[in-house]
Amino acid sequence: MPTIPWNTHPNAWKAIEDGRNLPSSETLLKLVDRGYDATWLLAGRGSMRLDVAGPASG
């Protein structure tokens, strides 16, 4: 999981990493803005980063 580059309490982030808490929509948007894939963040599928080319669709 990515390191949070903004002010988030370490215990809060650890709870998200451990699956004891869900990230807020604000946190998800900040991660997507930094290039992380929302599908990977929410479901663990696909590439972690948006800049990684995946299988061609279509």
8-57 pLDDT per residue, tens: 778 888 888 888 988 888 888 988 998 999 999 888 899 999 887 655 54
d(CA 9, CA 48): 23
For residue 5, pLDDT beyond 60 = no
Closest CA to 37 of 15, 24, 55, 29: 29
* Of 47, 43, 45, 50, residue with least CA distance to 19: 43
